[in-house]
Amino acid sequence: MQLTWRRLLVLVPVVGGLAFWGLTAFRETDSQRLVRIQKQLAEGDHATALPALRKYLDEHPDDVKANFLAGSLLARTEPDQARTFLERVPPDSEDRPQAVRLLAAIALERNDPQSAKALLEQLQTLAPDDPAVSLALAECHLLMGDYEPALGHAREAAERNPARAHTHFLIAEILDHLGRVAESVEPLKQAIAADPEWFPAHANLAYALHFTGENQAALAELEWCLEREPDNVDLLRIQAEIVRDEGDLPRAKSIVQRALRGRPQDVRCNVLLGEILLFDNQPREALAVLEPLFARHRDNRHLTTLLSRAAWLAGDTEKAQQYQKLLMEQLPQRRTEP
C-alpha cells in the first residue's frame, strides 16, 4: 500500500514520539547513577566508580550522599580533597556523625589535634556513648600534652569497650607520661588478657615490672619477648640490668655485649657495660669502654660520675680530678635570692 502525504504527516509525530519514549525510557536518572556508583564501590571497583563519582559531583556539587561517598573514599589517599567533600555534609544528615569522624581522623593524621578535638567534641553530642570518640579524644589530649584529660577519656573508652587491647595500652602510655609507671602494670596486663600475643604490651610490661622492682616477673616477660625477638637491644639491656641487680655479673656482661653487637654505639648499653665492669673490679676496662663516649656525651652526668669513679679505682688521680671538676660544672646552678 502506498502512503499518501496526509497519512505520512500523521505517522511522523507518532513515530517520533515512540523514538523519544525509547530514549527517555532507558535514560538513567540521577538517583540511579548514584546507586550504580555505590554498587561499584561495594564491589571494590574503585577505578570505575571514582571517576564516575567525580563527574557526578561536578554536575551535582550539593548532593549530600555523593559528597559523603567521595569523602569516605578519598579520606586516606587524598585527605585535603576528602575534607572538602566531607565538610559539605550538613548537621542534619544521617551521614554527619561518620563524616565528622573522618574529618577528625584527617586532622589527627595531619598532626592537628586542636582541630580534631573540636570535631570530636561536636561528635560527642551526636554519639555520647561511643567508645571510639572517647578514645580519639584521649589521643588528641595526649598529642597536646594534656595527660590528665587524656587519661580520663581513655578510661571512659576502656569502660565502654573493655575488650579492646589498644585502649588499655594507651592508658599505660599516658600513665608513663605522667610519671606513674607503677600504675601502668595493671592496664598492660589487661591489654595482654585481651590480646595474649601482642608483643608491645609484653615488652612494656617487662619495663614496668622492672621499674617497680618485680624482677622475676619482669624476667618472665623478657624471656617471652626475646624468644620472639632475640636481638632486641632495648630488651636485652633491661634483662642485663636485672641480672646485674641479681648479682650475676658474668651473665649480665654477656647479655649486654650481645646487645652491643646489634647496636655498638648505644650509649645506655655501653654505660651499663662500664657499670658492670666497675662492679666486677675492672676499672681500666671500664675506662676503655666509657671514655670514647665522653666526646659525644659531655653533658651526661651519670657517664661523668662513672668515669671519675673508674679513674680513681684505676689509680689515675689526675684524670679522676678532671672528671670530678667537670661533674661539679654539670651540677645545676643554685638560684640565689636577691
In a domain, 133, yes or no: no
Number of compact structural domains in the chain: 1
- 327 or 192, higher pLDDT: 192
Whether 32 shows a pLDDT value over 90: the answer reads: no
The grid coordinates of residue 18 equal: 515512540
Q: Residue-wise over 298-318: b if at least 16 C-beta within 10 A, else e?
A: eebeebbebbbbbbbbbebee
> 210 falls in which pLDDT band (50, 70, 90)?
very high
User: pTM of the prediction?
Assistant: 0.74
In a domain, 256, yes or no: no
3-state secondary structure at position 7: helix
Only one residue has cell 563524616, namely: 99
At 28 the pLDDT is 59
- What is the rounded average pLDDT of the residues 304-314? 94
At 207 the pLDDT is 96
In a domain, 289, yes or no: no
In a domain, 257, yes or no: no
- What is the rounded average pLDDT of the residues 80-85? 91
Whether 17 shows a pLDDT value over 50: the answer reads: no
Mean pLDDT of the chain: 87
- 18 or 135, higher pLDDT: 135
Among 60-69, 175-184, 263-272, 308-317, whose mean pLDDT is lowest?
60-69
At 334 the pLDDT is 54
Q: Return the number of other C-beta atoms located less than 10 Å from residue 274's C-beta.
A: 27
At 124 the pLDDT is 83
- Provide CB contacts within 8 A for 222, sequence distance 6+: 206, 235, 238, 239, 242
Whether 335 shows a pLDDT value over 70: the answer reads: no
**Which range marks the domain in which residue 64 is found?**
39-128
pLDDT in tens, 155-190: 999 999 999 999 999 999 999 999 999 999 999 999
At 162 the pLDDT is 95
Whether 29 shows a pLDDT value over 90: the answer reads: no
In a domain, 153, yes or no: no
At 15 the pLDDT is 39
CATH number of 114's domain: 1.25.40.10
> 332 falls in which pLDDT band (50, 70, 90)?
low
In a domain, 90, yes or no: yes
> 218 falls in which pLDDT band (50, 70, 90)?
very high
pLDDT in tens, 90-118: 988 999 888 988 999 899 888 888 888 99
In a domain, 304, yes or no: no
Whether 239 shows a pLDDT value over 90: the answer reads: yes
pLDDT in tens, 246-295: 999 999 999 999 999 999 999 999 999 999 999 999 999 999 999 999 98
102 with 76: CB under 8 angstroms?
no
252 with 243: CB under 8 angstroms?
yes
Only one residue has cell 650481645, namely: 258
In a domain, 196, yes or no: no
> 125 falls in which pLDDT band (50, 70, 90)?
confident
